[in-house]
Structure 1
Amino acid sequence: MTASPIPSRPRVVEIAFWALVAGAVLLIVGGLLAATVTFETARSAMDPEVTNEKVRDYLTVYRGMGIGAVLAGAGLAFVAGRARRGDAKFRRATVALALAIAVVLVMLAAGAGVGQPMTLLALLPIVVGTVLLTRRSAAGWFEPRAAR
Protein backbone atom coordinates (compact mmCIF):
# COMPACT_ATOMS: atom_id res chain seq x y z
CA MET A 1 0.00 0.00 0.00
CA THR A 2 1.42 3.38 -0.93
CA ALA A 3 1.22 6.42 1.25
CA SER A 4 -1.28 9.05 0.29
CA PRO A 5 0.16 12.15 -1.31
CA ILE A 6 0.73 15.16 0.89
CA PRO A 7 -2.38 17.32 0.72
CA SER A 8 -1.94 20.64 -1.00
CA ARG A 9 -1.44 23.74 1.07
CA PRO A 10 -4.73 25.52 1.84
CA ARG A 11 -5.27 28.89 0.24
CA VAL A 12 -5.68 30.51 3.66
CA VAL A 13 -2.11 29.46 4.54
CA GLU A 14 -0.82 30.99 1.30
CA ILE A 15 -2.64 34.26 1.94
CA ALA A 16 -1.42 34.33 5.55
CA PHE A 17 2.15 33.73 4.42
CA TRP A 18 2.12 36.54 1.87
CA ALA A 19 0.46 38.93 4.33
CA LEU A 20 3.18 38.14 6.89
CA VAL A 21 5.89 38.62 4.27
CA ALA A 22 4.38 41.99 3.32
CA GLY A 23 4.38 42.98 6.99
CA ALA A 24 7.96 41.80 7.39
CA VAL A 25 9.07 43.81 4.34
CA LEU A 26 7.35 46.92 5.70
CA LEU A 27 9.07 46.37 9.05
CA ILE A 28 12.46 46.02 7.40
CA VAL A 29 12.03 49.04 5.14
CA GLY A 30 10.65 51.19 7.95
CA GLY A 31 13.41 50.02 10.26
CA LEU A 32 16.08 50.87 7.72
CA LEU A 33 14.56 54.31 7.24
CA ALA A 34 14.52 54.89 10.99
CA ALA A 35 18.06 53.59 11.45
CA THR A 36 19.48 55.97 8.86
CA VAL A 37 17.91 59.26 9.99
CA THR A 38 20.56 61.97 10.22
CA PHE A 39 20.94 64.46 13.03
CA GLU A 40 20.19 67.36 10.68
CA THR A 41 16.90 65.80 9.60
CA ALA A 42 15.81 65.22 13.18
CA ARG A 43 16.96 68.69 14.22
CA SER A 44 14.94 70.34 11.43
CA ALA A 45 11.80 68.42 12.45
CA MET A 46 11.94 69.49 16.12
CA ASP A 47 11.26 72.75 17.89
CA PRO A 48 14.23 75.13 18.12
CA GLU A 49 14.09 75.16 21.93
CA VAL A 50 14.86 71.40 22.10
CA THR A 51 18.53 70.99 22.94
CA ASN A 52 20.96 69.11 20.76
CA GLU A 53 21.52 66.62 23.58
CA LYS A 54 17.81 65.75 23.66
CA VAL A 55 17.80 65.36 19.88
CA ARG A 56 20.75 62.95 20.12
CA ASP A 57 18.98 60.97 22.85
CA TYR A 58 15.83 60.79 20.75
CA LEU A 59 17.84 59.68 17.73
CA THR A 60 19.47 56.92 19.75
CA VAL A 61 16.09 55.51 20.72
CA TYR A 62 14.64 56.06 17.24
CA ARG A 63 17.56 54.32 15.53
CA GLY A 64 17.44 51.51 18.07
CA MET A 65 13.77 51.00 17.25
CA GLY A 66 14.71 50.90 13.59
CA ILE A 67 17.34 48.23 14.11
CA GLY A 68 14.89 46.26 16.26
CA ALA A 69 12.27 46.50 13.51
CA VAL A 70 14.74 45.20 10.92
CA LEU A 71 15.62 42.23 13.13
CA ALA A 72 11.96 41.54 13.94
CA GLY A 73 11.02 41.69 10.25
CA ALA A 74 13.82 39.30 9.29
CA GLY A 75 12.83 36.90 12.08
CA LEU A 76 9.17 37.05 11.09
CA ALA A 77 9.97 36.35 7.44
CA PHE A 78 12.12 33.37 8.46
CA VAL A 79 9.59 31.72 10.75
CA ALA A 80 6.72 32.41 8.33
CA GLY A 81 8.69 30.74 5.56
CA ARG A 82 9.29 27.68 7.68
CA ALA A 83 5.64 27.60 8.76
CA ARG A 84 4.59 27.68 5.11
CA ARG A 85 6.24 24.28 4.70
CA GLY A 86 3.81 22.81 7.20
CA ASP A 87 5.84 22.72 10.41
CA ALA A 88 3.46 23.18 13.36
CA LYS A 89 6.27 24.40 15.64
CA PHE A 90 7.07 27.25 13.28
CA ARG A 91 3.38 28.10 12.93
CA ARG A 92 3.24 28.60 16.70
CA ALA A 93 6.50 30.55 16.59
CA THR A 94 5.15 32.74 13.80
CA VAL A 95 1.98 33.55 15.72
CA ALA A 96 3.96 34.24 18.93
CA LEU A 97 6.51 36.48 17.19
CA ALA A 98 3.81 38.37 15.29
CA LEU A 99 1.90 39.03 18.50
CA ALA A 100 5.08 40.11 20.29
CA ILE A 101 5.93 42.49 17.45
CA ALA A 102 2.43 43.96 17.52
CA VAL A 103 2.46 44.47 21.29
CA VAL A 104 5.96 45.97 21.35
CA LEU A 105 5.29 48.31 18.43
CA VAL A 106 2.03 49.52 19.86
CA MET A 107 3.50 49.97 23.35
CA LEU A 108 6.57 51.83 22.14
CA ALA A 109 4.71 53.90 19.57
CA ALA A 110 2.01 54.92 22.02
CA GLY A 111 4.17 55.18 25.11
CA ALA A 112 7.43 56.67 23.91
CA GLY A 113 6.26 58.31 20.69
CA VAL A 114 9.04 56.82 18.60
CA GLY A 115 6.95 54.78 16.17
CA GLN A 116 8.05 55.08 12.58
CA PRO A 117 4.97 55.32 10.30
CA MET A 118 6.01 52.50 7.99
CA THR A 119 6.61 50.10 10.86
CA LEU A 120 3.22 51.01 12.28
CA LEU A 121 1.68 50.36 8.86
CA ALA A 122 3.29 46.90 8.97
CA LEU A 123 0.96 45.96 11.82
CA LEU A 124 -2.01 45.63 9.48
CA PRO A 125 -0.70 42.78 7.28
CA ILE A 126 0.94 41.14 10.29
CA VAL A 127 -2.37 41.04 12.17
CA VAL A 128 -4.20 39.78 9.06
CA GLY A 129 -1.63 37.02 8.51
CA THR A 130 -1.69 35.99 12.15
CA VAL A 131 -5.48 35.77 12.22
CA LEU A 132 -5.48 33.70 9.04
CA LEU A 133 -2.87 31.30 10.46
CA THR A 134 -5.06 30.67 13.48
CA ARG A 135 -8.16 29.84 11.44
CA ARG A 136 -9.46 26.30 11.75
CA SER A 137 -8.82 25.48 8.08
CA ALA A 138 -5.17 26.52 8.43
CA ALA A 139 -4.68 24.90 11.82
CA GLY A 140 -5.93 21.55 10.51
CA TRP A 141 -3.27 21.54 7.81
CA PHE A 142 -0.52 21.93 10.40
CA GLU A 143 -1.50 18.79 12.31
CA PRO A 144 1.12 16.05 12.33
CA ARG A 145 1.31 14.23 9.01
CA ALA A 146 0.48 10.89 10.63
CA ALA A 147 -2.84 12.23 11.95
CA ARG A 148 -4.10 13.11 8.46
Structure 2
Amino acid sequence: MIETMKRTRPRVVDVAFWLWAVGAILLILLGLITVTTSSDGLREQLAGTDGVDTEILLVRALGGLSLAVGLAVGLVVHGVREGRPRSRFVAVLLSAVYSVVQMLLVLVGLHTVFAMTLPLMLLVASVLVFRPEGHGWFVR
Protein backbone atom coordinates (compact mmCIF):
# COMPACT_ATOMS: atom_id res chain seq x y z
CA MET A 1 0.00 0.00 0.00
CA ILE A 2 1.40 3.36 -0.97
CA GLU A 3 1.14 6.07 1.64
CA THR A 4 0.89 9.64 0.54
CA MET A 5 2.91 12.06 2.55
CA LYS A 6 0.79 14.87 3.82
CA ARG A 7 2.50 18.03 4.86
CA THR A 8 1.24 19.54 8.05
CA ARG A 9 0.53 23.22 7.93
CA PRO A 10 2.82 25.26 10.21
CA ARG A 11 1.17 27.01 13.14
CA VAL A 12 2.42 30.43 12.02
CA VAL A 13 0.54 30.01 8.73
CA ASP A 14 -2.65 29.19 10.64
CA VAL A 15 -2.21 32.23 12.88
CA ALA A 16 -1.52 34.45 9.85
CA PHE A 17 -4.60 33.05 8.11
CA TRP A 18 -6.85 33.88 11.05
CA LEU A 19 -5.34 37.35 11.45
CA TRP A 20 -5.99 38.05 7.78
CA ALA A 21 -9.48 36.53 7.92
CA VAL A 22 -10.51 38.61 10.94
CA GLY A 23 -8.83 41.66 9.41
CA ALA A 24 -10.75 41.16 6.15
CA ILE A 25 -14.05 40.89 8.00
CA LEU A 26 -13.32 44.04 10.01
CA LEU A 27 -12.23 45.93 6.90
CA ILE A 28 -15.44 44.97 5.11
CA LEU A 29 -17.58 46.01 8.09
CA LEU A 30 -15.66 49.26 8.51
CA GLY A 31 -15.96 50.01 4.82
CA LEU A 32 -19.69 49.29 4.73
CA ILE A 33 -20.31 51.47 7.78
CA THR A 34 -18.27 54.31 6.35
CA VAL A 35 -19.80 54.15 2.89
CA THR A 36 -23.40 53.92 4.11
CA THR A 37 -23.24 56.60 6.81
CA SER A 38 -25.67 59.39 6.01
CA SER A 39 -24.25 62.61 4.60
CA ASP A 40 -26.35 64.66 7.00
CA GLY A 41 -24.77 62.96 10.00
CA LEU A 42 -21.31 63.59 8.60
CA ARG A 43 -22.15 67.24 7.90
CA GLU A 44 -23.21 67.71 11.53
CA GLN A 45 -19.96 66.19 12.79
CA LEU A 46 -17.85 68.25 10.38
CA ALA A 47 -19.77 71.50 10.89
CA GLY A 48 -17.60 74.56 11.14
CA THR A 49 -14.86 73.33 8.85
CA ASP A 50 -14.16 74.54 5.35
CA GLY A 51 -14.67 72.12 2.50
CA VAL A 52 -17.19 69.85 4.21
CA ASP A 53 -18.19 68.26 0.91
CA THR A 54 -14.55 67.42 0.15
CA GLU A 55 -14.13 65.83 3.58
CA ILE A 56 -17.30 63.79 3.11
CA LEU A 57 -16.00 62.59 -0.25
CA LEU A 58 -12.69 61.66 1.38
CA VAL A 59 -14.48 59.71 4.12
CA ARG A 60 -16.48 57.82 1.49
CA ALA A 61 -13.34 57.10 -0.57
CA LEU A 62 -11.53 55.75 2.48
CA GLY A 63 -14.53 53.56 3.25
CA GLY A 64 -14.47 52.27 -0.31
CA LEU A 65 -10.76 51.55 0.02
CA SER A 66 -11.35 49.59 3.23
CA LEU A 67 -14.16 47.65 1.60
CA ALA A 68 -12.09 46.83 -1.50
CA VAL A 69 -9.02 45.76 0.47
CA GLY A 70 -11.17 43.67 2.82
CA LEU A 71 -12.83 41.86 -0.07
CA ALA A 72 -9.52 41.28 -1.85
CA VAL A 73 -7.78 39.95 1.26
CA GLY A 74 -10.79 37.77 1.97
CA LEU A 75 -10.56 36.28 -1.52
CA VAL A 76 -6.84 35.44 -1.42
CA VAL A 77 -6.52 34.31 2.18
CA HIS A 78 -7.70 30.78 1.41
CA GLY A 79 -4.86 30.41 -1.08
CA VAL A 80 -2.41 31.42 1.62
CA ARG A 81 -3.69 28.66 3.85
CA GLU A 82 -3.32 26.19 0.98
CA GLY A 83 0.31 27.22 0.45
CA ARG A 84 0.06 29.19 -2.79
CA PRO A 85 2.98 31.65 -3.06
CA ARG A 86 1.08 34.02 -5.36
CA SER A 87 -1.76 34.36 -2.84
CA ARG A 88 0.78 35.09 -0.13
CA PHE A 89 2.35 37.81 -2.28
CA VAL A 90 -1.02 39.44 -3.01
CA ALA A 91 -2.11 39.34 0.65
CA VAL A 92 1.19 40.85 1.82
CA LEU A 93 1.07 43.53 -0.89
CA LEU A 94 -2.51 44.52 -0.01
CA SER A 95 -1.64 44.61 3.68
CA ALA A 96 1.40 46.78 3.08
CA VAL A 97 -0.38 49.25 0.80
CA TYR A 98 -3.34 49.60 3.17
CA SER A 99 -0.99 50.06 6.12
CA VAL A 100 1.02 52.77 4.36
CA VAL A 101 -2.17 54.64 3.46
CA GLN A 102 -3.38 54.43 7.07
CA MET A 103 0.00 55.63 8.39
CA LEU A 104 -0.13 58.61 6.06
CA LEU A 105 -3.66 59.42 7.23
CA VAL A 106 -2.50 59.29 10.85
CA LEU A 107 0.48 61.54 10.08
CA VAL A 108 -1.73 64.06 8.29
CA GLY A 109 -4.21 63.98 11.16
CA LEU A 110 -7.21 62.48 9.39
CA HIS A 111 -7.15 59.34 11.54
CA THR A 112 -6.28 58.62 15.12
CA VAL A 113 -3.48 56.36 16.23
CA PHE A 114 -6.15 53.86 17.34
CA ALA A 115 -6.97 53.37 13.64
CA MET A 116 -3.57 51.70 13.25
CA THR A 117 -4.65 48.55 15.11
CA LEU A 118 -6.15 46.94 12.01
CA PRO A 119 -3.15 47.64 9.74
CA LEU A 120 -0.89 46.38 12.51
CA MET A 121 -2.83 43.12 12.56
CA LEU A 122 -2.41 42.77 8.79
CA LEU A 123 1.31 43.49 9.03
CA VAL A 124 1.80 40.89 11.76
CA ALA A 125 0.16 38.31 9.48
CA SER A 126 2.49 39.41 6.68
CA VAL A 127 5.55 38.89 8.85
CA LEU A 128 4.38 35.50 10.09
CA VAL A 129 4.14 33.96 6.63
CA PHE A 130 7.76 34.89 5.94
CA ARG A 131 9.16 33.43 9.14
CA PRO A 132 11.37 30.39 8.52
CA GLU A 133 8.69 28.00 9.84
CA GLY A 134 6.05 29.47 7.56
CA HIS A 135 8.23 30.14 4.52
CA GLY A 136 8.73 26.43 3.91
CA TRP A 137 4.98 25.95 3.48
CA PHE A 138 5.06 28.06 0.30
CA VAL A 139 8.08 26.37 -1.29
CA ARG A 140 7.07 23.50 -3.53
Q: Give distance in 1, aligned partners of 2:132 and 2:112.
A: 34
- The answer for unaligned runs of 5 or more in structure 2 is none
Aligned counterpart, 1:130: 126
Indicate the percent of aligned positions where both proteins have the same amino acid.
28
- The question of whether the paired residues in 1 share the 8 Å contact of 2:23 and 2:122 is answered with yes
Cα distance, 1:90 vs. partner?
A: 1.3
| Structure 1 residues 31 and 118: alpha-carbon distance in aligned structure 2, compared to 1, 3 A threshold | farther
For these two proteins, the number of residue pairs brought into alignment is: 140
| Deviating 4+ runs (over 4 angstroms) | 116-119
Aligned counterpart, 1:35: 35
Name the SS of the counterpart of 2:8 in structure 1: coil
Cα distance, 1:118 vs. partner?
A: 8.1
Q: Give distance in 1, aligned partners of 2:10 and 2:49.
A: 54
Q: How does 1:15-30 map to 2 (within 5 A)?
A: 15-30=15-30
TM value normalised by structure 1: 0.82
Match of 2:117 among 105, 121, 131: 121
Matched, 1:87 2:95: no
Deviations 1:95-116 (A, max 9, x none): 1221111112222343361x48
TM value normalised by structure 2: 0.87
Aligned counterpart, 2:65: 68
